[in-house]
């Protein structure tokens, strides 16, 4: 489906009607659009900020296949938080995200800080797919090398029989310890870590 240029206006109107103080904008990958839909994200950010200056805008974007010009379009629109999910550790990445690349995602998040060192960056990792503690820590180290500020950790729930099975259920105590490790040992500004995160 072609991008509707009225979408930013309709979205801003909906956000206003709902009285939201914070909004997260995401989409399916739009590889069919120039710049992977970066202008669509930027238009939505700009229109919400214009109409609702007290509403903070967070975006969860694809990696635009590593296109930093597309990333710049979104960064220049100045979202409060720019998110791109890593999803899993390096070893599992090819199986879990066959269209994505672990290091492309890491470098993409790092590129945000080169474009705007003040912008908050956020990523998420889903646990329970067979990763080890050492692999989680390595992913944390790689993300902090890219100056990522916020990390979310949640439990993998198999969405269909076509996806890899759940390898294990991570306990609440493990999630709490990973929060501590992320914040105290790796220096993330915030780690949100729990089964339903």
Question: pLDDT-derived band of residue 159, with 50, 70 and 90 as boundaries?
Answer: very high
Q: What is the pLDDT of residues 106-151, one digit of tens each?
A: 999 999 999 999 999 999 999 999 999 999 999 999 999 999 999 9
Q: What is the pLDDT of residues 67-106, one digit of tens each?
A: 999 999 999 999 999 999 999 999 999 999 888 899 999 9
Look at residue 18 and give its three-state secondary structure: helix
Residues 6+ apart with CB under 8 A from 66: 101, 104, 107, 108
With tokens 């908050």, the residue in question is 120
**Alpha helix locations (H) across the chain?**
7-18, 38-51, 68-76, 93-96, 102-115, 133-145, 172-180
Residues 6+ apart with CB under 8 A from 54: 21
pTM across the whole model: 0.94
Residue 1 confidence (pLDDT)? 65
């Amino acid at each position: 489906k072609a991008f509707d240029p009225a979408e930013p206006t309709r979205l801003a109107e909906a956000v206003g009607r709902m009285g939201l103080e914070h909004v997260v904008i995401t989409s399916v990958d739009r590889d069919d659009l120039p710049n992977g839909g970066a202008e669509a994200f930027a238009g939505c950010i700009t229109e919400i900020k214009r109409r609702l200056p007290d509403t903070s805008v967070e975006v969860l974007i694809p990696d635009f296949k590593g296109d930093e010009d597309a990333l710049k379009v979104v960064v220049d629109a100045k979202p409060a938080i720019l998110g791109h999910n890593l999803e899993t550790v390096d070893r599992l990445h090819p199986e879990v995200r066959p269209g994505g690349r672990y290091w492309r995602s890491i470098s993409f998040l790092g590129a945000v800080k080169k474009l705007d060192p003040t912008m908050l960056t956020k990523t998420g990792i889903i646990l329970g797919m067979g990763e080890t503690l050492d692999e989680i820590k390595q992913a944390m180290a790689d993300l902090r090398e890219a100056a990522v500020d916020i990390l979310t950790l949640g439990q993998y729930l198999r969405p269909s029989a076509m996806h890899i099975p759940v390898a294990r259920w991570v306990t609440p105590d493990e999630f709490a310890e990973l929060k501590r490790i992320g914040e105290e040992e790796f220096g993330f500004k915030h780690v949100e870590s729990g089964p339903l995160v």
